[in-house]
Amino acid sequence: MASLDEVCQKIGYHFKDSELLTMAMTHRSFSAVNNERVEFLGDSLLNMIIAEALYLRFPDVDEGDLSRIRALLVSGKTLATVAVEFELGRFLRLGAGEKNSGGQRRASTLADAVEALIGAIYLEAGFEVCRERVLAWFAPRLVSLNPDASHKDPKTRLQEFLQGRKQPLPDYQLVETAGADHQQTFIVSCSISLLKSSVSASGSSRRKAEQAAAEKVLLALKEIE
């Protein structure tokens, strides 16, 4: 595994407690002492820090839009992108099976690592330092935000599209669940009256699979409009 000193350089924070950093970079497949608990902490901190930043940055935006913007910023997809920017996959400690199956590139694993780092920084240096680091990592995204743009998730956008045309709501069905308990893949179909056939998509949770299916339906609707 690459030197963890490189992690510190990339994230802009030097850990005094190397064991804390090591834990944050350890997947549950590698050891019973892993980053799950500190990732749980980091998830809560991230939501708080981003919520505060949006509240202060956009005083005229209502709660619903703020929630949607926050959901976009703290989504697994965004966090995985941050992890790729830091090249965290190089530093993750993974079990042999997880590593051989490409765990160092798996979006959910990378996103968890970012949250684990946030939790670890908080435990070592406190909230103010943690907030400063998170805001620095997310600064380009916060600066480029347009609060007037639609940040609604695909399921909400599809529902509103159909309601606006007085059409029945979409029907989501779980088609298949595959993989081990800790690494499941969900396949969901989405059917609407405006399309002749249903559309299927997969995700690491049923909710994510439904969102992906709704996005595919929206793209299909654009092609026939």
Q: Which residue is catalytic, options 43, 65, 98, 153? A: 43
Rounded to whole angstroms, how far apart are CA atoms 59 and 52?
11
Contact 60, 214 (CB under 8 A): no
Contact 8, 20 (CB under 8 A): no
52 is in an annotated binding site: no
Rounded to whole angstroms, how far apart are CA atoms 184 and 108?
11
19 is in an annotated binding site: no
HSE on the CB side for 158, CA within 13 Å? 26
Q: Which residue is catalytic, options 65, 98, 115, 210? A: 115
39 is in an annotated binding site: yes
Dig out the tokens for 18 from the structure: 């190397």
For tokens 């090249």, the residue is 87
43 is catalytic: yes
98 is catalytic: no
Q: Which residues are catalytic?
A: 43, 115
Which residues participate in the annotated binding site for Mg(2+)? 39, 112, 115
Which residues participate in the annotated binding site? 39, 112, 115
